[in-house]
Amino acid sequence: MSIVAVSDTLGSLGHEIGRRVAAATGYAVADREIIAGAAERFHEGVVELTHVTEERPTLWERLTDSQHRYMAYVEAVLLDLAARDDVVLLGRGAAVILRGLPHVLRVRIDAPEDARAARLQNEQGLTHEAALDAVHQSDRERGARLKFLYHVDWHDPMLYDLALNTDRLDAEQGARLVLALLADQRFRSTDEARRRLGDLNLIAQAKAALLADPLTRQHQIFVSCRDGAMTLSGSVRDEEARQAAERAVAAIPGVGPVANDIVSVHAARNLAGRI
């Protein structure tokens, strides 16, 4: 059981390679499904959620919390899919979000700009100039988004286990290279890896649930998890918000006992006044 996380540039054949890998292994594959799942689950627009994973953040977005909230929703769906194992995740920051997990094969797929532009010309009937502009814009937008959200350079080879240049590779050849590495025992999931991913998944679900609830969204609440046992800390305005946070997290499937260490500022002030 394994996970493949693909990071690709426009016109690099990354999605085609990822889908061929999924077809050969019987793995599920997710790309737009991640956005659709987040939109349905958290009642947000597909356009807004697509924007947060693909486009450069505006100055206004850098000054507000909405983009981090949207990305928390996307991460919750992505990690939920990853926790099921045997899946190919295409883009959406999966290679960065899942870094550090030993059974995730992180693949970077790229090609020279001219080669990618030529593919767009053939596929979409664009002029060479228009295709090259599309490649440049996509690279700038997606690179800036990952830098803003995760403080990484998506071109950094240390983020990946395998990097493919598809200038002289077709999708079938690229998929064979991925499959050959995927067969290595190092990318097989273990009980420990599954437990670790399970806790990361529950933390992501909790963060998304707290951001989706108007009673807890504006408060600074921290979440930790070990073997399904959840601990909440931080501070909220009043006891209503404190209890709302515990209810939201306790309702998540798979969550065990919840230790609510959140401090109610209102209650703390009342206690200080009595002292």
Written as one string, the DSSP assignment of 52-73 is HHHSPPPHHHHHSSHHHHHHHH
pLDDT value of position 45: 79
pLDDT value of position 205: 95
Tell me what the pLDDT averaged over the chain comes to.
Answer: 89
**How confident is the model over 60-66, as a mean pLDDT?**
60
pLDDT value at 273 more than 70: no
pLDDT value at 8 more than 90: yes
Q: Are residues 255 and 130 in the same domain?
A: no
Q: Are residues 114 and 242 in the same domain?
A: no
State the total domains in the chain.
Answer: 2
Q: Are residues 88 and 128 in the same domain?
A: yes
**How confident is the model over 240-250, as a mean pLDDT?**
95
Q: Are residues 224 and 268 in the same domain?
A: yes
The answer to whether residues 41 and 80 touch, using CB atoms and an 8 Å cutoff, is: no
pLDDT value of position 1: 75
Give the pTM: 0.86
Secondary structure of the chain: what % helix, strand, coil (to 5)?
55, 15, 30
CA-to-CA separations, 242 to 110, 215, 228, in angstroms, rounded: 47, 9, 20
- Grouping H, G, I as helix, E, B as strand and the rest as coil, residue 108 is strand
Q: Are residues 85 and 20 in the same domain?
A: yes
pLDDT value of position 249: 96
| Residue 248 domain boundaries | 213-274
pLDDT value at 31 more than 90: no
pLDDT-based confidence at residue 34 (cuts at 50, 70, 90) = confident
Residue 15 belongs to a domain: yes
Q: Could you give the CA distance from residue 166 to residue 111 in angstroms, rounded to a whole number?
A: 5
Q: Are residues 67 and 160 in the same domain?
A: yes
- Grouping H, G, I as helix, E, B as strand and the rest as coil, residue 10 is coil
pLDDT-based confidence at residue 179 (cuts at 50, 70, 90) = very high
Q: Could you read off the pLDDT of 168-177 as tens digits, one per residue? A: 999 999 999 9
Residue 199 belongs to a domain: no
80: domain CATH number? 3.40.50.300
Q: Could you read off the pLDDT of 36-58 as tens digits, one per residue? A: 888 888 888 788 777 777 666 66
Residue 105: which of 188, 35, 32 has the closest Cα? 188
**How confident is the model over 163-183, as a mean pLDDT?**
96
Q: Are residues 57 and 165 in the same domain?
A: yes
**How confident is the model over 85-109, as a mean pLDDT?**
93
pLDDT value at 7 more than 90: yes
Residue 245 belongs to a domain: yes
pLDDT value of position 48: 77
Residue 194 belongs to a domain: no
**How confident is the model over 2-28, as a mean pLDDT?**
95
pLDDT value at 274 more than 80: no
